[in-house]
Amino acid sequence: MRHRMHTDEAGEVISRWLIQLVVFMAVIALVGYEFLSVAFTWFALDDPAREVATAAANVMSDPDDLAEGEEAALAAAEREDVELVSIGVDGDFVTVTVQRAANTLLLHRVSEDFTTPSVDGRARWRQ
């Protein structure tokens, strides 16, 4: 009878250890998903930023008049599924900043700034 009691205790210890392991792995998976989602969104913004800047640069005839460029940039941003944050002219280049919210499960509730990365794109407006 004494031997049976020892086996029951060992089973409880193993069960408790397995539950802790599963919970720990779930937390690690959630944290990994959150951070990888933000990282992939940030890396994926490079091409859309460049496309938006190119669209603006292609229609601009005067660097002092951003209205044409901004209109083209807004249309390109919509096509690229990004939000146009800013547009400006820096010498021979049109510079835009775009952003997109990352798909996160919990992190966007804590910090929307962290889960909405922004990237700059540049395109030469003078040919």
| pLDDT, tens digit only, all 127 positions of the chain | 455 555 667 678 788 889 999 999 999 999 999 999 999 999 999 999 999 999 999 998 777 778 889 999 999 999 999 999 999 998 889 999 999 999 888 877 787 778 899 999 999 976 5
Give me the pLDDT at residue 83, please: 96
In this prediction, residue 106 carries a pLDDT of 80
Q: What is the pTM of this model?
A: 0.76
Q: Tens digits of per-residue pLDDT, 2-13?
A: 555 556 676 787
pLDDT given for residue 1 in this prediction: 46
CA quadruple 104, 29, 110, 44: dihedral sign = negative
Q: How many other C-beta atoms are found inside a 10 Å radius of the C-beta of residue 9?
A: 10
1 CB-contact burial (10 Å; exposed 0-12 / middle 13-18 / buried 19+): exposed
Nearest to 80, CA basis, from 33, 48, 34: 48
